[in-house]
């Protein structure tokens, strides 16, 4: 029996190689445990609030508006669609292939106080914009308050 000295850094180098191969070639299991973390089928978006509404902008370049489906169930918003391919080239002839093709989806939990039945959707230049109005009772209200100078109040007394 041969005894070898344990070298923890050798194991880390081996693990780094495994992670590098995974990131370079993708998961060997297309529906494996990391599909939510590493898949390319998610949708990039921005969301911000205005005093009147919540605005969500989703990047869907190359997707026709009729190929995008937006649904709201309760307070859950789902955007789904499919980006078509321009035609397949043999896999080995690609130098770089970063554009996404195929189905995509994104699900968001919406905050309370939105009028989800009044969503307005527009599409232009590869960006889907959803505008969801806020309910009146959740909008910020400005109240004008008259402030008296404390010194003036003392003089009047």
What six digits make up the tokens of 125? 């230049």
Q: How do residues 95-104 score in pLDDT, each as one tens digit?
A: 777 777 788 8
- In angstroms, the CA 111 to CA 119 distance is 14
Same domain, 20 and 82: no
CB 57 within 8 A of CB 44: no
Same domain, 107 and 33: no
pLDDT of residue 34: 34
Same domain, 33 and 49: no
Q: How do residues 118-131 score in pLDDT, each as one tens digit?
A: 999 999 999 999 99
Same domain, 68 and 30: no
Same domain, 66 and 121: yes
């Amino acid at each position: 029996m041969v005894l070898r000295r344990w070298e923890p850094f050798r194991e880390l180098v081996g693990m780094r190689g495994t992670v590098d191969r995974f990131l370079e070639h993708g998961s060997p299991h297309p529906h494996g445990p990391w599909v939510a973390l590493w898949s390319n089928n998610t949708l990039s978006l921005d969301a911000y609030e205005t005093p009147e509404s919540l605005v969500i902008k989703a990047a869907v370049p190359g997707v026709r508006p009729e190929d995008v489906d937006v649904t709201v169930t309760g307070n859950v918003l789902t955007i789904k669609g499919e980006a078509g391919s321009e035609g397949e080239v043999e896999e080995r002839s690609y130098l770089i292939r970063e554009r996404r093709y195929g189905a995509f989806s994104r699900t968001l939990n919406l905050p309370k106080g939105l009028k989800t039945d009044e969503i307005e959707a527009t599409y232009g230049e590869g960006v889907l914009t959803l505008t969801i109005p806020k309910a009146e009772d959740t909008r910020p209200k400005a109240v004008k308050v008259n402030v008296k100078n404390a010194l003036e109040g003392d003089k009047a007394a």
